[in-house]
Amino acid sequence: MQMAWFNYFGSCLLAAVLVLCLAGCAPAPIPAPEESGELVVVTRNSPTTYYLNAKSEAVGFEHDLVMQFAAAQGWKVRFVLAETLPDLFEIMKKGQAHIAAAGLSATEESRGSHRFGPTYGQVKEWVVCRPARRQPLSPADLSGLRLEVVAESSHVENLRLLKRRLPGLTWVEMNVSNSEELLERAELGLSDCAVADSDSFDIARNFHPTLVRTFALGSSQPQAWLIGPRMGLGFSRQVMRFFQESEQRGELARLRERYFGHVQRLEDADVLGVLEKRGTLLRALAPHFYKAQNETDMDWRLLAAVAYQESQWNEQAVSSTGVRGIMMLTVDTADQLGVKNRLDARESIQGGARYIISLMASLPAQIADPDRIWMALAAYNLGMGHLLDARALAVKLGRNPNAWNEMKEVLPLLSRGKYASGLRNGYARGGEALAFVENVRIYYDILSKYEKPYRGFPDAL
């Protein structure tokens, strides 16, 4: 009897210890940023949210937005990367992050179980398919096709709503962090279609140009940060005030243009050409771009993007206006740069790189990167005199001459008689300069994804 009692008591004690251990092993919720001075943000690795650039620096639309918010409050930031959306929601549920900034859609259904901040953007959810003889034009046409979707995303919610009237609608939920992987699977033929937000698809088209956007699942969805359940009302007010002020100052628009403003020109860019010529022409030219990077500290992939826009990597290119070579230099510019033979790829690339650097140095110090780079490239195409005319015109029109997203609206005006007659240097094809820069941005995105950054040294070439 005593032994049975001892066993029973021992079992209860062991169970109690296990419960206490489990409770003790669970991580405690992190302190509020007002207490710790640190804002903890869970996000996901994606071209539209957070990623590392060529210098191993964290960048991305959500990253920059978070950094601006934290700076306004005087807080440091610690990012936590979630492998999947379920992981992201679990991190928030356990109180291990203050906000989730990950391009999340704040649908009506999700607002019932999650706490969202103010809306800062709108996206459409598109069904994107690989090329086929018959493309689906509506949800009913998806019958018999393998449709993949990110697990626990807003896309699943909308598909469930559609299933109420289309019982035969089926899909496969994939435990991945973002839709880019699903788009790649569709292009490879591992699935027929995938669902992706409009901004994700716009960027992914740079890398998967054969994919076809077919139809939207529904109306546009608002994007917002997810706020932790333990965060107080004061924190929510800080978030609300930040977005209101960012909207009023134009910071939100500038940030959106920085990451998404150029992708709308994709139809005019030769994306397939870049992808096809990477393995042939670019391989032979790469050492010259490396050397130019060593000399100027400009990312060789950006220089290669400029060269492709200028000549499609043809070192013997000649235009009707007399510019020639892989970087299409004029006679005067080549003389100034010490380029003796414009048709020599090495000389042309190094000269073009030095020219871009000199144009960047000529711009006012208050222009920050990457706007500084885009304006220098506009001057590369247009001439610095015409760019200065555009800046002066921007001031007259009440625009910010230091912000590329506003200069994009001004440059096309240089060719219009109403404005051209009052310009110091007269008429200019500002629209062509705009197209030049936006195409370079697209090519640079592509090369940054597929080509490794160069880490060599001058004596290695």
What is the rounded CA–CA span in Å between residue 177 and residue 98? 19
Contacts of 194 (CB under 8 A, 6+ apart): 127, 128, 129, 147, 148, 149, 179, 182, 183, 185, 186
Q: Is 109 a catalytic residue?
A: no
With residue 152 as reference, give the H or E element that holds it.
none
Number of H helices, E strands in the chain: 20, 13
What is the rounded CA–CA span in Å between residue 115 and residue 231? 10
Q: How many CB atoms lie within 10 A of CB 362?
A: 12
- Selecting among 62, 157, 310, 315, the annotated active-site residue is 310
Token pair of 246, please? 């960012």
With residue 296 as reference, give the H or E element that holds it.
helix 283-296
Cα–Cα distances (Å) from 413 to 123, 375, 410, in that order, read 30, 16, 5
Strand-pair category, 125-129 with 226-227: unpaired
Burial 402-412 (b: 16+ CB within 10 A, else e): bbbbbbbebbb
Which residues are marked as active site? 310
